[in-house]
A = this chain, B = another copy of it.
C-alpha cells in the first residue's frame, strides 16, 4: 500500500496515531496545517515507511508508532508456529529499526516488544490458541505503551509547569507537542498544564526549518488550544532571547545520554547557547524512554542526515540555485547548557549522571 489516500478516520483533536481494528491510523503531519489527512496502515512495512517519511515524527510518538508497527506485524503474520512467528518478529523489528537513527524511543520500543514477546512465548503457548493469545497480547502492549505516553506527558507537564512563572513567555523549538508524543506533548505539555493551572503563558515559536515543524505543527496546536503565540524565524531566536522578555525555554528531546547531553531537532544547541548567554533557563522535557544510559555522552549519538532537497526546496518549489546543501536533522546540546531535565518521574538537575540514574531506578 502506498502512503497516499487511505481511508480517513477522525482522531481526537491533535492525536497523531491510534490503534484501531482496521489497522494503525496516522495523521499525516507532512500536510498540516493546510490539510488534515489520515492514513490507515494494515502492514508493518507501511508503518516503517511512515516513520521514515515523517508522516509521524517526534521521539515519543515514533516509539508508539514502532510499538504499534510490531503489534501490527505480529497480529497479521501468517506464521503457524512459534519459531515462525519469532523469525517474523525479528524481520519486523529490523525493518522498523532501519527507519530513523537518532530518536532512541524507537529502539527502546522495539526492545520492549522483543522482550515482551519472549516473556509471553513460554513453550506452553505454542499451538494455535497460544499464538492467538500472544498476538492479542502484543496488541494490548502497544495500546498500553500509548497510554503510558499519555500519562507520562501529564506528569512531565505538571513538573514543568511548576518551573514557569504566573505570567511569562516561553520559547520552544520544533514540535514537542501532542503530535510528537500521542499525549499532550512534552514541552507543549508543560505549557498546556501551566495554562490549565491559570498561568498566563505566551509562546515564541521558531519556525524550525527546513521541515517547519514550528510554523506548521506547534503553531497549529497552540492556535487550536487558543494559547497565544508569536511565530518567528529561526534566526530571530537570539534577538528575542536578548530583548523579548523570555522566562524560559522548553524543548523536547530525541535522545539523552548518561551525562545529560541531549540530541534534539537541529537548532536546539544554538537556542541553548543563546539562552545561557542571556540568563534564560533552558529546560528539556522528555519521558524516561528518551534516556539512553548505554552511552556516556552526546558524542555517541548518531545524527541523522536527511536529503539536501528538503533544504533547497520548500513545498516543491526550489528556493536556491542548484547548489550543495547540508541537512543534519538534529544537533547535540551539551549538558552544561541545560538547567534541568523534566521527566515523568521528576526533575533532574546537574550532576546528570547521578541524578538521571536515580530517576531511572525510581519506581
Contacts and interface: CB of A to CB of B under 8 A. Distances in A.
B323 A223 contact: yes
Contact of A206 (B33, B235, B274): B235
A319 B325 contact: no
Interface stretch (A10-18, A85-93, A262-270): A262-270
A242 interface: yes
Contact of A238 (B210, B223, B320, B331): B331
Nearest to A267: B235
B267 A238 contact: yes
A219 interface: yes
B230 A270 contact: no
A105 to B, nearest CB: 22
- Centre residue among A230, A314, A325 by max chain B CB count within 10 A: A325
Interface in A221-239: 222-223, 228-239
A219 B319 CA distance: 10
Interface in A199-227: 206-210, 212, 215-216, 219-220, 222-223
Interface string A52-67: 0000000000000000
A198 interface: no
A325 B231 contact: yes
A321 B209 contact: no
Per assembly, the copies of the chain total 2
A156 B307 CA distance: 37
Contacts of A317: 314-315, 317
Interface string A103-146: 00000000000000000000000000000000000000000000
A238 B273 contact: yes
A83 interface: no
A266 B240 CA distance: 11
A320 B216 contact: yes
Contact of A229 (B210, B222, B232, B324): B324
A354 to B, nearest CB: 26
Nearest to A174: B235
Contacts of A34: 318
A288 interface: no
Interface in A1-51: 33-34
A318 B219 CA distance: 13
Interface residues of A, number: 51
A33 B321 CA distance: 6
Interface in A258-284: 266-267, 269-270, 273-274, 277
B312 A315 contact: no
A328 B323 CA distance: 28
A235 B212 CA distance: 11
A323 B220 CA distance: 8
A326 interface: yes
Interface string A170-208: 000000000000000000000000000000000000111
B319 A266 contact: no
Nearest to A228: B324
Interface in A300-339: 311-312, 314-315, 317-326, 328, 331
23 contacts: A33-B320, A212-B319, A219-B320, A220-B320, A223-B321, A223-B322, A230-B323, A231-B311, A231-B324, A231-B326, A232-B311, A235-B235, A235-B270, A236-B326, A236-B331, A238-B267, A239-B269, A239-B270, A239-B331, A242-B331, A273-B273, A314-B315, A315-B315
**Ordered nearest first, which 6 A-B pairs have the shortest CB separation?**
A235-B267, A238-B270, A234-B235, A209-B233, A215-B320, A239-B331
